[in-house]
Structure 1
Amino acid sequence: MTQWHTDSHKRKRSGGKKGVHRKKRRYERGRDMIFCTIGEPERISIRTRGGGIKQILKSDRLANVYDPTSRRIIRTEILGVRSNPANSDFERRGVITRGAIIETKLGDARVTSKPGSDGVINAVLIKTVSTSPA
């Protein structure tokens, strides 16, 4: 269902609602959120204002993870969503947004890209997994 971003919530001095004196405009339309999850790679192309194209990522198994110690970018598999400060419900549902902490084979990583706008998952490694016995 379309989300309308109109500015019709104004009030009169008396506290009553102001009447709308025009119809809805096409440019005031929004769209429903498409949540990025872990799964087979699936992207959607959407035409944006001005004729541009926005890639929306619905699901993906892989992420581009930057390792600050070795200064390399490694494409690695996502194992799960550890936490999501945007919404605690996203954490339970496994939704990946910017700022989410994902669990990868290299260790925990913080997502730096916007999967709903960029169409790709980029992340920075914050904690590495120790493979040697301690």
Structure 2
Amino acid sequence: MVIIQSKSKRKPTGGKYKRTDTKRLHQKGRTATHTKLDETKISETRIKGGNIKQNLLSVDTINVWDPKTKKHYKEKIKSTSDNPANRHFARRSIITKGAIVETAKGKARITSRPGQDTVVNAVLIA
């Protein structure tokens, strides 16, 4: 079944709106990628216009920015410690923007969107 991102079919009172148009390609969505902590895997998805979008399915390294030394480092992810997007994501090792991960340099907060960017950037947080 296709995921459609359009307005609700129901009114605030619970009644149904009368549908005036059919489903269109520009309303099409897809399920979330849920990037996991594992060896790097990338999938490709055909999108509108015949273009290709890359999705990061799993990752084990990140680019870490150290604000004290003002340098970037490539580090391995040890584990996910917290995820404000969903409390179960940390338990399932799912990495999203804003997640806190453990690295050799210390804890880092993810600043990129791994499911869409295919790169994971982070900032050290002490």
Output the TM-score relative to the length of structure 1: 0.83
Task: State whether residues 8 and 20 of structure 1, in contact with CA within 8 Å, keep that contact through their aligned partners in structure 2.
Answer: no
C-alpha separation in 1, matches of 2:14 and 2:97 = 39
Amino acid at match of 1:126: I
How many percent identity over aligned positions? 40
Give the CA deviation at 1:10. 4.9
Does the alignment pair 1:69 with 2:72? no
Give the CA deviation at 1:6. 2.4
Match of 1:16 in 2: 15
Give the CA deviation at 1:120. 0.8
C-alpha separation in 1, matches of 2:54 and 2:29 = 16
C-alpha separation in 1, matches of 2:119 and 2:58 = 10
Amino acid at match of 1:44: S
Amino acid at match of 1:21: T
Query: What pairs with 1:93-112 in structure 2 (closer than 5 Å)?
Result: 93-112=92-111
Amino acid at match of 1:116: G
Amino acid at match of 2:110: V
Match of 2:3 in 1: 3
Match of 1:132 in 2: none
Structure 1: gaps (5+ residues): 128-134
CA RMSD of aligned residues (A): 2.0
Task: State whether residues 54 and 118 of structure 1, in contact with CA within 8 Å, keep that contact through their aligned partners in structure 2.
Answer: no
Does the alignment pair 1:43 with 2:56? no
Query: What pairs with 1:53-64 in structure 2 (closer than 5 Å)?
Result: 53-64=52-63
Q: Could you say if the C-alpha distance between residues 23 and 70 of structure 1 is closer, same or farther in structure 2, counting changes exceeding 3 Å?
A: same
- What does the per-residue CA deviation read over 1:60-117, in whole Å, with 9 as the maximum and x for residues that have no partner? 1100001111111110100000100011011111110000000001100000000011
Q: Could you say if the C-alpha distance between residues 26 and 124 of structure 1 is closer, same or farther in structure 2, counting changes exceeding 3 Å?
A: same
Structure 2: gaps (5+ residues): none
C-alpha separation in 1, matches of 2:14 and 2:82 = 43
Q: Could you say if the C-alpha distance between residues 20 and 53 of structure 1 is closer, same or farther in structure 2, counting changes exceeding 3 Å?
A: same
